[in-house]
Structure 1
């Protein structure tokens, strides 16, 4: 199965030994980095009484305009009830539009409105600025290694979703 990852023989699994302490430090670094990565959007969304679930929905609807509710459920890994609560708010506030599917009337296709695209751009700009600064400081080899590590940590289903989204080129 070719899921886009580097085969273990090429990566040199047998050449890398990390202590439990080094792995703990990596885990903690990831937690704190995630807090930093989400801090700016959290501040922006707090003024609107939105949370991270709203941010994730806005991001992936913006990334794949016309995506279905079922596809968004699969990407986000949340319950239908939870997603519907978020979508109802975003639709009521004029950030997302929902249209009925043409082939299957049960499907709902989601798009960001102009206001939704503006909010998505603001949230993404904040995160890109943080990533750009970190990547610039780390250098190109570290950036490539970081992406390799992130991709290797993904479950196969999530890696497939990530690859499909990445390959859309948007």
Structure 2
């Protein structure tokens, strides 16, 4: 039978402890709730009164999660705006950050915003977001090929 030195035993014990910790962290991550990301796209969007963004609902808002969940779904205007209604983890209590992108002169332009509120308009054919601009980008009144990337946190 082989006798292990004290230093080798310490190394093996250290590796075992690290393995248990990584395993426990993975288990904790798997038990937490998924974090969703959302994408709302449109051919054209308009800025109204300097802080309202009107985005048509050409297609549903795409929602997805990252690892380990890897889920996705589509939300209609009413389902997406309901995230601002209040309650646990609502956008009402913690407005999400977002990045707006659009095409201008053949280039993609982006602006960081906080989406303070959202309401459904035109019987579900449009969402009007109240936003605060977080970057110094100049946002035009009309934007083409618009994407709004919304982060749950």
* Length-normalised TM-score, structure 1: 0.22
Larger radius of gyration: 2
* Length-normalised TM-score, structure 2: 0.23
